[in-house]
A and B are shown apart, each in its own frame.
Chain A
Amino acid sequence: MFLQAVLSGIVMGCVYALIALSLVLIYKSTDVVNFAAGEFVMIAGYAGLFLLDWFHLNYAVMVVLAIVLVAVFGALFERTALNRIIGFKYNAEAALVPMVVATIGLSFVLKGVVRVIPSTEEVLRLPPLFGGPPVFLGDLVLQRQDIGIVVVAVLVMVALSLGFNFTATGKALRATSQNPRAAALIGIPVRRMRMLAWGLASALAGISGILLSPKLLMTPDMGSVVMLGIAASIIGGFTSLVGCVVGGIVLGVVQNLVGIFLSPQAIAVTPFFIIMLVLVVRPNGLFGEAMRLKKV
Chain B
Amino acid sequence: MYGGLRGIELAGILLVALAGFILPHLLPGYFLYTGNMLLTYAILAIGLDLLLGRTGQFAFAHIAFFGIGIYGTALLESRVGIPFVLAMPIAACIAGAIGFLIGFPAARLKAVYLALATYAFAECAQWVFRTWDPVTGGPDGLRFPPPVIFGYQTGTDRSAFPVVAIILALVLAATLYLTKSKLGRHMCAIRDSEHVAAVSGIDVRRVKVIAFTVSAVFAGIAGGTYTLFQSFINADVLGAAQLVTVLTMIVIGGSGSIIGVLFGVVVIGLLPEVLRAMPQSLLVWQEFVYGAILVAAIVFMPQGLWGLVKPRLEARRAPKPARVAEAIRTQPKVSL
Contacts and interface: CB of A to CB of B under 8 A. Distances in A.
Complex A–B touching at CB under 8 A: yes
B328 to A, nearest CB: 27
A112 B285 contact: yes
A106 to B, nearest CB: 6
Contacts of A273: 120, 124
Interface string B281-313: 000111111111111001110100000000000
A235 B120 CA distance: 13
Contacts of B58: 96-97, 100
B105 A280 contact: yes
Interface in B103-127: 105, 108-113, 115-117, 120-121, 123-124, 127
Interface string A257-270: 00000000100110
Given A97-B251, A230-B116, A85 B195 contact: no
Quick one: which of A85, A96, A279, A280 has the most chain B CB within 10 A?
A: A279
Contacts of B193: 296
Q: Which interface class (under 10, 10 to 19, 20 to 34, 35 or more) fits A? A: 35 or more
Quick one: which of B195, B289, B294 has the most chain A CB within 10 A?
A: B294
A95 B116 contact: no
B113 A283 contact: yes
Given A97-B251, A112-B286, A85 B127 contact: no
B10 interface: no
B117 A98 contact: no
A112 B120 contact: no
B37 interface: no
A105 B251 contact: no
Nearest to B301: A98
Contacts of A272: 120-121, 123-124, 127
Given A97-B251, A238-B113, A279-B117, A104 B124 contact: no
Nearest to A99: B298
Contacts of B127: 268-269, 272
A106 B287 contact: no
B131 interface: yes
Interface in A77-115: 80-81, 84-85, 87, 93, 95-98, 100-102, 104-113, 115
A101 B251 contact: yes
A85 B196 contact: no
Contacts of B255: 97
A116 interface: yes
A147 interface: no
A97 B288 CA distance: 21
A33 interface: yes
Interface string A10-44: 00000000000000000100000100000000000
B253 to A, nearest CB: 12
A275 interface: yes
A135 interface: no
Contact of B124 (A105, A116, A234, A269): A269
B247 A276 contact: no
B286 A101 contact: no
Contacts, number: 122
Contacts of A227: 123
Given A33-B112, A96-B111, A101 B117 contact: no
Contact of A102 (B111, B131, B290, B298): B298
Given A97-B52, A280-B117, A108 B288 contact: yes
A68 B299 CA distance: 25
A280 B108 CA distance: 8
Contacts of A271: 120
A85 B120 contact: no
Contacts of A60: none
A123 interface: no
Interface string B194-234: 01100000000000000000000000000000000000000
B288 A101 contact: no
A33 B124 CA distance: 21
A137 interface: no
Interface string A188-207: 00000000000000000000
Interface in B163-215: 193, 195-196
Nearest to A281: B105
A97 B249 CA distance: 12
A291 interface: yes
Given A97-B251, A275-B120, A115 B299 contact: no
Nearest to A105: B294
Quick one: which of B251, B288, B292, B300 has the most chain A CB within 10 A?
A: B288
A81 B109 contact: no
A269 B252 CA distance: 31
Contacts of B286: 112
A101 B112 contact: no
B294 A108 contact: yes
B295 to A, nearest CB: 4
Nearest to B290: A108
Interface of A: 27, 33, 80-81, 84-85, 87, 93, 95-98, 100-102, 104-113, 115-116, 227, 230-231, 234, 238, 265, 268-269, 271-273, 275-276, 279-280, 283, 291, 293, 296
24 contacts: A27-B112, A33-B112, A85-B302, A87-B302, A96-B58, A97-B251, A100-B115, A101-B294, A104-B244, A104-B248, A105-B291, A105-B292, A108-B291, A110-B291, A112-B285, A112-B289, A115-B284, A230-B116, A234-B116, A269-B127, A275-B116, A276-B117, A276-B120, A283-B113
